Chains A and B, each alone.
Chain A
Protein backbone atom coordinates (compact mmCIF):
# COMPACT_ATOMS: atom_id res chain seq x y z
CA UNK A 1 0.00 0.00 0.00
CA UNK A 2 2.76 2.34 1.00
CA UNK A 3 4.73 1.73 -2.19
CA UNK A 4 1.61 2.24 -4.31
CA UNK A 5 1.11 5.67 -2.82
CA UNK A 6 4.71 6.53 -3.49
CA UNK A 7 4.43 5.50 -7.09
CA UNK A 8 1.35 7.65 -7.41
CA UNK A 9 3.26 10.54 -5.91
CA UNK A 10 6.09 10.10 -8.39
CA UNK A 11 3.61 9.94 -11.28
CA UNK A 12 1.94 13.12 -10.09
CA UNK A 13 5.35 14.75 -9.92
CA UNK A 14 6.08 13.71 -13.51
CA UNK A 15 2.72 15.06 -14.62
CA UNK A 16 3.42 18.38 -12.95
CA UNK A 17 6.81 18.51 -14.62
CA UNK A 18 5.30 17.86 -18.05
CA UNK A 19 2.70 20.54 -17.49
CA UNK A 20 5.26 23.08 -16.38
CA UNK A 21 7.53 22.47 -19.39
CA UNK A 22 4.56 22.19 -21.76
CA UNK A 23 3.12 25.54 -20.79
CA UNK A 24 5.87 28.02 -20.01
CA UNK A 25 5.14 31.37 -18.37
CA UNK A 26 4.86 33.19 -21.72
CA UNK A 27 2.27 30.71 -23.06
CA UNK A 28 1.39 31.21 -26.72
CA UNK A 29 -1.82 33.14 -27.34
CA UNK A 30 -3.75 34.10 -30.47
CA UNK A 31 -2.02 37.43 -30.82
CA UNK A 32 1.41 35.84 -30.43
CA UNK A 33 0.64 33.18 -33.04
CA UNK A 34 -0.58 35.81 -35.48
CA UNK A 35 2.45 37.95 -34.88
CA UNK A 36 4.77 35.04 -35.64
CA UNK A 37 3.00 34.31 -38.92
CA UNK A 38 2.99 38.00 -39.88
CA UNK A 39 6.73 38.16 -39.23
CA UNK A 40 7.44 35.03 -41.29
CA UNK A 41 5.28 36.24 -44.19
CA UNK A 42 6.98 39.66 -44.11
CA UNK A 43 10.45 38.07 -44.07
CA UNK A 44 9.58 35.78 -46.97
CA UNK A 45 8.15 38.71 -48.95
CA UNK A 46 11.39 40.59 -48.38
CA UNK A 47 13.38 37.67 -49.82
CA UNK A 48 11.10 37.38 -52.85
CA UNK A 49 11.19 41.11 -53.53
CA UNK A 50 14.98 41.23 -53.22
CA UNK A 51 14.99 39.10 -56.38
CA UNK A 52 18.41 37.55 -55.79
CA UNK A 53 19.65 34.46 -57.65
CA UNK A 54 17.91 31.16 -56.97
CA UNK A 55 20.72 29.81 -54.79
CA UNK A 56 20.90 33.03 -52.72
CA UNK A 57 17.11 33.04 -52.33
CA UNK A 58 17.19 29.45 -51.12
CA UNK A 59 19.94 30.31 -48.59
CA UNK A 60 17.87 33.23 -47.25
CA UNK A 61 14.82 31.01 -47.06
CA UNK A 62 16.72 28.37 -45.11
CA UNK A 63 17.71 31.02 -42.55
CA UNK A 64 14.07 32.07 -42.06
CA UNK A 65 13.07 28.44 -41.84
CA UNK A 66 15.62 27.53 -39.16
CA UNK A 67 14.78 30.65 -37.15
CA UNK A 68 10.98 30.45 -37.13
CA UNK A 69 10.12 26.76 -37.65
CA UNK A 70 10.41 23.87 -35.21
CA UNK A 71 12.68 21.95 -37.59
CA UNK A 72 13.70 19.11 -35.18
CA UNK A 73 10.05 18.20 -34.53
CA UNK A 74 9.19 18.41 -38.23
CA UNK A 75 12.16 16.24 -39.17
CA UNK A 76 11.28 13.72 -36.47
CA UNK A 77 7.69 13.52 -37.78
CA UNK A 78 8.87 13.07 -41.37
CA UNK A 79 11.04 10.12 -40.30
CA UNK A 80 8.02 8.49 -38.68
CA UNK A 81 8.36 5.15 -36.91
CA UNK A 82 11.78 4.54 -38.51
CA UNK A 83 13.14 7.42 -36.46
CA UNK A 84 12.64 5.43 -33.27
CA UNK A 85 15.73 3.30 -33.90
CA UNK A 86 17.93 6.25 -34.86
CA UNK A 87 20.67 7.46 -32.52
CA UNK A 88 20.76 11.07 -31.33
CA UNK A 89 23.66 11.79 -33.69
CA UNK A 90 21.83 10.26 -36.66
CA UNK A 91 18.75 12.33 -35.83
CA UNK A 92 20.80 15.54 -35.63
CA UNK A 93 22.46 14.89 -38.99
CA UNK A 94 19.12 14.00 -40.57
CA UNK A 95 17.47 17.15 -39.17
CA UNK A 96 20.22 19.30 -40.65
CA UNK A 97 19.94 17.61 -44.08
CA UNK A 98 16.14 17.82 -43.93
CA UNK A 99 16.26 21.56 -43.31
CA UNK A 100 18.36 22.17 -46.43
CA UNK A 101 16.24 19.79 -48.50
CA UNK A 102 13.00 21.61 -47.60
CA UNK A 103 14.59 25.02 -48.25
CA UNK A 104 15.66 23.92 -51.75
CA UNK A 105 12.45 22.09 -52.61
CA UNK A 106 10.06 24.88 -51.61
CA UNK A 107 12.41 27.82 -52.17
CA UNK A 108 12.55 26.89 -55.86
CA UNK A 109 8.81 27.56 -56.18
CA UNK A 110 9.06 31.08 -54.79
CA UNK A 111 9.21 32.64 -58.22
CA UNK A 112 5.49 31.82 -58.50
CA UNK A 113 4.78 34.15 -55.55
CA UNK A 114 6.22 37.30 -57.13
CA UNK A 115 3.60 40.04 -57.00
CA UNK A 116 1.33 38.00 -54.74
CA UNK A 117 -0.02 38.81 -51.30
CA UNK A 118 -1.35 36.92 -48.29
CA UNK A 119 -4.46 38.07 -46.44
CA UNK A 120 -5.29 36.98 -42.90
CA UNK A 121 -8.64 35.21 -42.53
CA UNK A 122 -9.04 33.74 -39.06
CA UNK A 123 -7.29 32.12 -36.13
CA UNK A 124 -8.41 29.20 -33.99
CA UNK A 125 -7.04 27.09 -31.20
CA UNK A 126 -5.90 23.54 -31.96
CA UNK A 127 -4.42 20.94 -29.65
CA UNK A 128 -0.77 21.85 -30.24
CA UNK A 129 -1.33 25.61 -30.44
CA UNK A 130 -3.01 27.77 -33.06
CA UNK A 131 -4.03 27.57 -36.69
CA UNK A 132 -3.84 30.80 -38.67
CA UNK A 133 -5.93 30.68 -41.82
CA UNK A 134 -5.15 32.96 -44.71
CA UNK A 135 -5.73 33.37 -48.42
CA UNK A 136 -2.89 33.80 -50.88
CA UNK A 137 -3.62 35.88 -53.96
CA UNK A 138 -1.15 35.01 -56.69
CA UNK A 139 -0.98 36.70 -60.05
CA UNK A 140 -3.15 35.06 -62.71
CA UNK A 141 -4.42 32.35 -60.36
CA UNK A 142 -7.48 31.63 -58.27
CA UNK A 143 -7.08 32.48 -54.56
CA UNK A 144 -5.30 29.74 -52.59
CA UNK A 145 -6.14 28.76 -49.02
CA UNK A 146 -3.03 28.67 -46.81
CA UNK A 147 -2.98 27.66 -43.12
CA UNK A 148 -0.05 28.14 -40.76
CA UNK A 149 0.20 25.98 -37.63
CA UNK A 150 2.04 27.44 -34.67
CA UNK A 151 3.01 25.84 -31.35
CA UNK A 152 5.14 26.64 -28.31
CA UNK A 153 5.63 22.99 -27.32
CA UNK A 154 9.31 23.19 -28.31
CA UNK A 155 9.84 25.88 -25.68
CA UNK A 156 9.46 28.85 -28.02
CA UNK A 157 6.82 29.96 -30.51
CA UNK A 158 7.47 28.09 -33.73
CA UNK A 159 5.79 27.25 -37.00
CA UNK A 160 5.40 23.48 -37.36
CA UNK A 161 3.19 22.85 -40.40
CA UNK A 162 1.68 24.56 -43.44
CA UNK A 163 -1.48 23.56 -45.31
CA UNK A 164 -1.95 24.70 -48.91
CA UNK A 165 -5.45 23.90 -50.23
CA UNK A 166 -5.68 21.15 -47.64
CA UNK A 167 -2.34 19.57 -48.55
CA UNK A 168 -0.03 19.62 -45.56
CA UNK A 169 3.71 19.72 -45.68
CA UNK A 170 4.38 17.30 -42.82
CA UNK A 171 2.25 14.45 -44.12
CA UNK A 172 3.48 14.96 -47.69
CA UNK A 173 7.11 14.89 -46.56
CA UNK A 174 6.55 11.87 -44.30
CA UNK A 175 5.33 10.04 -47.41
CA UNK A 176 8.37 11.15 -49.41
CA UNK A 177 10.94 10.47 -46.69
CA UNK A 178 9.26 7.10 -46.06
CA UNK A 179 9.63 6.20 -49.74
CA UNK A 180 13.28 7.28 -49.70
CA UNK A 181 13.93 5.17 -46.61
CA UNK A 182 12.26 2.13 -48.20
CA UNK A 183 14.45 2.54 -51.28
CA UNK A 184 17.52 2.50 -48.98
CA UNK A 185 16.34 -0.43 -46.84
CA UNK A 186 15.85 1.85 -43.84
CA UNK A 187 19.45 3.14 -43.85
CA UNK A 188 19.12 6.58 -42.23
CA UNK A 189 22.81 7.40 -42.81
CA UNK A 190 22.44 6.85 -46.56
CA UNK A 191 19.15 8.76 -46.57
CA UNK A 192 20.80 11.73 -44.83
CA UNK A 193 23.67 11.69 -47.30
CA UNK A 194 21.35 11.65 -50.33
CA UNK A 195 19.00 14.23 -48.82
CA UNK A 196 21.82 16.77 -48.81
CA UNK A 197 21.66 16.92 -52.59
CA UNK A 198 17.91 16.33 -53.01
CA UNK A 199 15.10 18.86 -53.39
Chain B
Protein backbone atom coordinates (compact mmCIF):
# COMPACT_ATOMS: atom_id res chain seq x y z
CA UNK B 1 0.00 0.00 0.00
CA UNK B 2 1.52 3.32 -1.05
CA UNK B 3 1.80 6.30 1.25
CA UNK B 4 -0.59 8.43 -0.78
CA UNK B 5 -3.30 5.80 -0.84
CA UNK B 6 -2.81 5.28 2.89
CA UNK B 7 -3.31 9.00 3.44
CA UNK B 8 -6.33 8.88 1.20
CA UNK B 9 -7.73 5.96 3.18
CA UNK B 10 -7.20 7.66 6.53
CA UNK B 11 -8.92 10.76 5.19
CA UNK B 12 -11.95 8.68 4.30
CA UNK B 13 -11.90 7.00 7.70
CA UNK B 14 -11.82 10.37 9.44
CA UNK B 15 -14.78 11.51 7.39
CA UNK B 16 -16.71 8.34 8.22
CA UNK B 17 -15.83 8.76 11.89
CA UNK B 18 -16.98 12.35 12.00
CA UNK B 19 -20.24 11.33 10.37
CA UNK B 20 -20.72 8.45 12.78
CA UNK B 21 -19.96 10.60 15.81
CA UNK B 22 -22.41 13.18 14.53
CA UNK B 23 -25.07 10.53 14.10
CA UNK B 24 -24.49 9.18 17.60
CA UNK B 25 -24.61 12.70 19.02
CA UNK B 26 -27.98 13.23 17.34
CA UNK B 27 -29.21 9.90 18.60
CA UNK B 28 -28.40 10.66 22.22
CA UNK B 29 -30.50 13.81 22.11
CA UNK B 30 -33.56 11.81 21.04
CA UNK B 31 -32.95 9.08 23.61
CA UNK B 32 -35.82 10.12 25.83
CA UNK B 33 -38.44 9.83 23.12
CA UNK B 34 -37.51 6.38 21.84
CA UNK B 35 -36.33 4.80 25.05
CA UNK B 36 -38.37 2.21 26.89
CA UNK B 37 -37.05 -0.15 29.56
CA UNK B 38 -33.62 1.44 29.13
CA UNK B 39 -33.42 0.36 25.50
CA UNK B 40 -33.05 2.86 22.67
CA UNK B 41 -33.80 1.05 19.42
CA UNK B 42 -35.25 3.36 16.74
CA UNK B 43 -33.86 1.14 13.93
CA UNK B 44 -35.55 -2.01 15.20
CA UNK B 45 -36.99 -3.20 11.87
CA UNK B 46 -33.63 -2.87 10.06
CA UNK B 47 -31.89 -4.45 13.04
CA UNK B 48 -34.29 -7.38 12.95
CA UNK B 49 -33.50 -8.05 9.26
CA UNK B 50 -29.79 -8.01 10.02
CA UNK B 51 -30.41 -10.30 13.01
CA UNK B 52 -32.16 -12.79 10.73
CA UNK B 53 -29.17 -12.66 8.38
CA UNK B 54 -26.70 -13.16 11.25
CA UNK B 55 -28.73 -16.06 12.57
CA UNK B 56 -28.65 -17.71 9.15
CA UNK B 57 -24.91 -17.14 8.96
CA UNK B 58 -24.45 -18.78 12.35
CA UNK B 59 -26.75 -21.68 11.62
CA UNK B 60 -25.35 -22.51 8.20
CA UNK B 61 -21.69 -21.60 8.54
CA UNK B 62 -20.24 -20.38 11.84
CA UNK B 63 -21.85 -22.92 14.18
CA UNK B 64 -21.14 -26.03 12.08
CA UNK B 65 -17.55 -24.94 11.40
CA UNK B 66 -17.02 -24.08 15.09
CA UNK B 67 -18.41 -27.45 16.19
CA UNK B 68 -16.18 -29.21 13.66
CA UNK B 69 -13.18 -27.19 14.79
CA UNK B 70 -13.96 -28.11 18.39
CA UNK B 71 -14.36 -31.78 17.56
CA UNK B 72 -11.22 -32.10 15.41
CA UNK B 73 -8.68 -29.80 17.07
CA UNK B 74 -7.66 -30.62 20.68
CA UNK B 75 -8.63 -28.02 23.26
CA UNK B 76 -4.98 -27.34 24.19
CA UNK B 77 -4.14 -26.28 20.64
CA UNK B 78 -7.31 -24.18 20.36
CA UNK B 79 -6.46 -22.39 23.61
CA UNK B 80 -2.90 -21.79 22.40
CA UNK B 81 -4.27 -20.10 19.29
CA UNK B 82 -6.61 -18.02 21.48
CA UNK B 83 -3.62 -16.95 23.59
CA UNK B 84 -1.70 -15.92 20.48
CA UNK B 85 -4.62 -13.86 19.19
CA UNK B 86 -5.30 -12.29 22.60
CA UNK B 87 -1.66 -11.28 22.90
CA UNK B 88 -1.86 -9.42 19.59
CA UNK B 89 -4.79 -7.41 20.96
CA UNK B 90 -2.95 -6.46 24.14
CA UNK B 91 -1.09 -3.39 22.76
CA UNK B 92 -4.52 -2.05 21.74
CA UNK B 93 -5.76 -2.52 25.33
CA UNK B 94 -2.71 -0.59 26.58
CA UNK B 95 -3.33 2.32 24.19
CA UNK B 96 -7.03 2.54 25.04
CA UNK B 97 -6.37 2.34 28.79
CA UNK B 98 -3.90 5.20 28.33
CA UNK B 99 -6.50 7.23 26.41
CA UNK B 100 -8.94 6.61 29.28
CA UNK B 101 -6.38 7.92 31.77
CA UNK B 102 -6.18 4.48 33.39
CA UNK B 103 -2.42 4.28 33.85
CA UNK B 104 -2.56 1.16 36.01
CA UNK B 105 -4.41 -0.91 33.39
CA UNK B 106 -2.19 0.49 30.63
CA UNK B 107 0.86 -0.64 32.62
CA UNK B 108 -0.62 -4.08 33.26
CA UNK B 109 -1.39 -4.57 29.56
CA UNK B 110 2.14 -3.50 28.65
CA UNK B 111 3.66 -5.90 31.19
CA UNK B 112 1.40 -8.70 29.96
CA UNK B 113 2.41 -8.10 26.34
CA UNK B 114 6.13 -8.11 27.14
CA UNK B 115 5.89 -11.20 29.36
CA UNK B 116 3.70 -13.23 27.03
CA UNK B 117 5.73 -12.30 23.95
CA UNK B 118 9.03 -13.31 25.61
CA UNK B 119 8.62 -16.06 28.21
CA UNK B 120 5.20 -16.88 26.72
CA UNK B 121 6.92 -17.83 23.42
CA UNK B 122 5.53 -15.18 21.11
CA UNK B 123 2.17 -15.15 22.87
CA UNK B 124 1.40 -18.87 22.60
CA UNK B 125 1.34 -19.16 26.39
CA UNK B 126 -0.51 -16.73 28.68
CA UNK B 127 2.46 -16.59 31.06
CA UNK B 128 1.20 -13.44 32.81
CA UNK B 129 -2.19 -15.09 33.36
CA UNK B 130 -0.47 -18.09 34.95
CA UNK B 131 1.19 -15.63 37.34
CA UNK B 132 -2.21 -14.17 38.26
CA UNK B 133 -1.95 -11.03 36.15
CA UNK B 134 -5.33 -11.20 34.37
CA UNK B 135 -6.03 -9.30 31.15
CA UNK B 136 -7.42 -5.76 31.26
CA UNK B 137 -9.50 -5.91 28.13
CA UNK B 138 -10.85 -2.66 26.77
CA UNK B 139 -11.62 -1.00 23.45
CA UNK B 140 -12.19 2.37 21.82
CA UNK B 141 -15.93 2.12 22.52
CA UNK B 142 -15.07 2.22 26.22
CA UNK B 143 -12.67 5.10 25.60
CA UNK B 144 -15.52 7.04 23.98
CA UNK B 145 -17.74 6.24 26.99
CA UNK B 146 -15.04 7.52 29.36
CA UNK B 147 -14.76 10.67 27.24
CA UNK B 148 -18.48 11.26 27.78
CA UNK B 149 -20.01 10.11 24.50
CA UNK B 150 -23.55 8.76 24.86
CA UNK B 151 -24.37 5.14 24.09
CA UNK B 152 -26.51 6.07 21.08
CA UNK B 153 -29.01 3.73 19.48
CA UNK B 154 -28.81 -0.05 19.57
CA UNK B 155 -27.52 -1.49 16.31
CA UNK B 156 -27.13 -5.07 15.19
CA UNK B 157 -24.19 -5.18 12.79
CA UNK B 158 -23.90 -7.76 10.01
CA UNK B 159 -21.43 -10.52 11.05
CA UNK B 160 -20.28 -8.64 14.19
CA UNK B 161 -23.68 -8.84 15.89
CA UNK B 162 -25.11 -6.67 18.68
CA UNK B 163 -23.63 -3.19 19.13
CA UNK B 164 -24.51 0.43 19.76
CA UNK B 165 -23.70 3.54 17.75
CA UNK B 166 -20.90 4.35 20.18
CA UNK B 167 -19.47 0.84 20.07
CA UNK B 168 -19.69 0.74 16.28
CA UNK B 169 -17.51 3.86 16.09
CA UNK B 170 -15.17 2.16 18.57
CA UNK B 171 -15.03 -0.97 16.45
CA UNK B 172 -14.11 1.02 13.31
CA UNK B 173 -11.37 2.93 15.16
CA UNK B 174 -9.98 -0.24 16.76
CA UNK B 175 -9.93 -1.93 13.38
CA UNK B 176 -8.06 0.81 11.56
CA UNK B 177 -5.64 1.70 14.34
CA UNK B 178 -4.64 -1.93 14.86
CA UNK B 179 -1.44 -2.38 12.82
CA UNK B 180 -2.18 -6.09 12.64
CA UNK B 181 -5.40 -5.62 10.70
CA UNK B 182 -3.96 -2.93 8.43
CA UNK B 183 -0.95 -5.11 7.67
CA UNK B 184 -3.20 -7.76 6.17
CA UNK B 185 -3.50 -5.54 3.12
CA UNK B 186 0.12 -6.38 2.28
CA UNK B 187 0.77 -9.42 0.14
CA UNK B 188 3.22 -11.40 2.25
CA UNK B 189 1.63 -14.67 3.40
CA UNK B 190 2.61 -14.33 7.07
CA UNK B 191 0.48 -11.19 7.22
CA UNK B 192 -2.53 -13.48 7.18
CA UNK B 193 -1.51 -15.17 10.41
CA UNK B 194 -3.05 -12.64 12.88
CA UNK B 195 -6.50 -12.46 11.23
CA UNK B 196 -6.55 -16.24 10.80
CA UNK B 197 -5.73 -16.67 14.49
CA UNK B 198 -8.49 -14.19 15.30
CA UNK B 199 -11.01 -16.11 13.19
CA UNK B 200 -9.95 -19.37 14.87
CA UNK B 201 -10.34 -17.87 18.33
CA UNK B 202 -13.82 -16.59 17.44
CA UNK B 203 -14.73 -20.14 16.35
CA UNK B 204 -13.27 -21.51 19.58
CA UNK B 205 -15.41 -19.13 21.65
CA UNK B 206 -18.48 -20.06 19.61
CA UNK B 207 -17.84 -23.70 20.49
CA UNK B 208 -16.91 -23.06 24.14
CA UNK B 209 -20.10 -21.11 24.84
CA UNK B 210 -22.31 -23.09 22.47
CA UNK B 211 -24.84 -24.02 25.16
CA UNK B 212 -25.41 -20.39 26.14
CA UNK B 213 -25.36 -19.01 22.58
CA UNK B 214 -27.67 -21.73 21.27
CA UNK B 215 -30.07 -21.02 24.10
CA UNK B 216 -30.27 -17.34 23.12
CA UNK B 217 -30.38 -17.81 19.34
CA UNK B 218 -32.40 -20.99 18.92
CA UNK B 219 -34.39 -21.62 22.09
CA UNK B 220 -35.79 -18.14 22.67
CA UNK B 221 -39.11 -17.13 21.13
CA UNK B 222 -37.60 -13.73 20.26
CA UNK B 223 -33.87 -14.18 19.83
CA UNK B 224 -33.51 -10.58 18.66
CA UNK B 225 -34.98 -9.15 21.89
CA UNK B 226 -32.98 -11.62 23.99
CA UNK B 227 -29.63 -10.85 22.38
CA UNK B 228 -30.34 -7.11 22.56
CA UNK B 229 -31.28 -7.32 26.24
CA UNK B 230 -28.27 -9.46 27.14
CA UNK B 231 -25.78 -7.46 25.08
CA UNK B 232 -26.84 -4.12 26.56
CA UNK B 233 -26.84 -5.39 30.14
CA UNK B 234 -23.41 -6.98 29.76
CA UNK B 235 -21.90 -4.02 27.91
CA UNK B 236 -23.15 -1.50 30.46
CA UNK B 237 -21.74 -3.72 33.21
CA UNK B 238 -18.35 -3.78 31.47
CA UNK B 239 -18.41 -0.01 31.27
CA UNK B 240 -18.92 0.18 35.02
CA UNK B 241 -22.65 0.92 35.22
CA UNK B 242 -24.12 -0.43 38.40
CA UNK B 243 -27.56 -1.82 37.66
CA UNK B 244 -28.07 -4.19 40.60
CA UNK B 245 -30.57 -1.91 42.31
CA UNK B 246 -32.41 -0.93 39.11
CA UNK B 247 -34.46 -4.12 39.00
CA UNK B 248 -36.54 -4.31 42.16
CA UNK B 249 -39.43 -6.77 41.82
CA UNK B 250 -40.77 -5.73 45.22
CA UNK B 251 -41.08 -2.07 44.25
CA UNK B 252 -42.46 -3.14 40.91
CA UNK B 253 -45.28 -5.17 42.44
CA UNK B 254 -46.31 -2.94 45.31
CA UNK B 255 -46.08 0.28 43.33
CA UNK B 256 -48.70 -0.83 40.84
Contacts and interface: CB of A to CB of B under 8 A. Distances in A.
Nearest to A124: B244
B253 A76 contact: yes
Given A77-B249, A167-B233, A141 B243 contact: no
A128 B248 contact: yes
Given A108-B211, A176-B226, A170 B247 contact: yes
B28 interface: no
A118 interface: no
A170 to B, nearest CB: 5
Interface string B220-256: 1110011001100111111001011101111111001
B252 A172 contact: no
> Contact size class for B?
20 to 34
Contact of A76 (B134, B220, B226, B249): B249
A141 B79 CA distance: 10
Interface string A151-188: 10100000011010111101110011011101100000
A84 interface: yes
B225 A179 contact: yes
Contacts of A7: none
B217 to A, nearest CB: 13
Contacts of B220: 176, 179
A176 to B, nearest CB: 6
B211 A109 contact: yes
A142 B247 contact: no
> Contact size class for A?
35 or more
A154 to B, nearest CB: 8
A45 B229 CA distance: 29
A8 interface: no
A187 to B, nearest CB: 14
Given A77-B252, A140-B79, A176-B222, A147 B244 contact: yes
Given A165-B234, A167-B233, A143 B134 contact: yes
Contacts of B79: 140
A73 interface: yes
15 contacts: A84-B256, A109-B212, A111-B211, A128-B251, A166-B234, A166-B235, A166-B241, A166-B243, A167-B233, A168-B247, A170-B247, A170-B249, A175-B222, A175-B226, A176-B220
Given A126-B244, A160-B250, A166-B236, 6 more contacts: A73-B253, A77-B252, A128-B249, A163-B237, A166-B235, A179-B221
Interface of A: 70, 73-74, 76-77, 81, 84, 105, 108-109, 111-112, 126-128, 131, 140-143, 145, 147, 149, 151, 153, 160-161, 163, 165-168, 170-172, 175-176, 178-180, 182-183, 199
